A and B are shown apart, each in its own frame.
Chain A
Amino acid sequence: AQSVSQHNHHVILSEAASLELGCNYSYGGTVNLFWYVQYPGQHLQLLLKYFSGDPLVKGIKGFEAEFIKSKFSFNLRKPSVQWSDTAEYFCAVNLIYTGFQKLVFGTGTRLLVSP
């Protein structure tokens, strides 16, 4: 079955540390890739997305992600985190089939940034 894996469930960092959150998926067909952020008590917000072209995509708030097709990965990075980045981060993979699509979420990574 198709799945999306986020290996880090909880990450604790100090401000200014660099961040990398892993995301891997298992599906051999066409995909679109997303990272969403959910701040405490709030709804999902789109951080960045990849459809085609340059595999390094930049999103809001200084986040970027790199699609490595051979590794089925779409890791999220930020060079220097801030306390306000404390949130839960969800990787999502849109599986493209003939005539329909299905967006599958990873289990999420809870990031705590200490000031």
Chain B
Amino acid sequence: EPEVTQTPSHQVTQMGQEVILRCVPISNHLYFYWYRQILGQKVEFLVSFYNNEISEKSEIFDDQFSVERPDGSNFTLKIRSTKLEDSAMYFCASSEALDRGNTGELFFGEGSRLTVL
């Protein structure tokens, strides 16, 4: 069964460093998402991406964050200058288009744990 894969599974970085989290969505999916879960808290929406541009972003997704689809397979989340409060599990997800009878269900990766020291 096709799945969303994320790398790295765990990254430790120093405050102020740039971090790139990578995701390979399911190949025929057109919508891509990043979610964040701070330890012990709920899963929060960060951003959705479609047709090579951001379709929606939350207030968490400030100028420190950016997303990119650099080639036909990867979908990346970049944090330019990490802060302690960026420590969290970051989940990537993808979905098919909502039309053509698809359900639009999101399929999640296993997450990348980011620890900022």
Q: Does B56 contact A (CB under 8 A)?
A: yes
CB atoms of A106 and B104 under 8 A apart? no
- Alpha-carbon gap, A32 to B109, bound state (A): 20
Q: Kindly identify, within residues 35 to 92 of chain A, every residue whose CB is under 8 Å from any CB belonging to chain B.
A: 43-44, 49, 51, 90, 92
Q: Does B95 contact A (CB under 8 A)?
A: yes
Chain A residues closer than 8 Å to B48, beta-carbon distance = 100, 102
CB atoms of A43 and B106 under 8 A apart? no
Q: Does B68 contact A (CB under 8 A)?
A: no
- Alpha-carbon gap, A100 to B30, bound state (A): 11
Q: Kindly identify, within residues 86 to 115 of chain A, every residue whose CB is under 8 Å from any CB belonging to chain B.
A: 90, 92, 94, 96, 99-108
- Alpha-carbon gap, A51 to B101, bound state (A): 11
Closest to B98 in A: A101
CB atoms of B98 and A44 under 8 A apart? no
Identify B108's interface contact among A43, A100, A101, A107, CB under 8 A.
Answer: A43
- Alpha-carbon gap, A45 to B43, bound state (A): 13
Chain B residues closer than 8 Å to A32, beta-carbon distance = 103-105
Minimum C-beta distance from B10 to chain A (A): 11
**Beyond A32-B105, A51-B103: 16 further Cβ-contacts under 8 Å?**
A32-B104, A34-B105, A43-B109, A43-B111, A44-B108, A94-B106, A96-B98, A96-B104, A100-B31, A100-B98, A101-B31, A103-B45, A104-B45, A105-B43, A108-B41, A108-B42
Q: B residues within 8 Å of A by Cβ? A: 31, 33, 35, 41-45, 48, 50, 55-56, 89, 91, 93, 95, 98, 103-106, 108-111
Q: A residues within 8 Å of B by Cβ? A: 32, 34, 43-44, 49, 51, 90, 92, 94, 96, 99-108
Can you report 25 residue pairs joining A to B where beta carbons are below 8 Å apart?
A32-B104, A32-B105, A43-B109, A44-B43, A44-B91, A44-B108, A44-B111, A51-B105, A90-B42, A90-B43, A92-B43, A94-B105, A94-B106, A99-B98, A100-B48, A100-B50, A101-B31, A101-B98, A101-B104, A102-B45, A105-B35, A105-B44, A106-B42, A107-B42, A108-B43
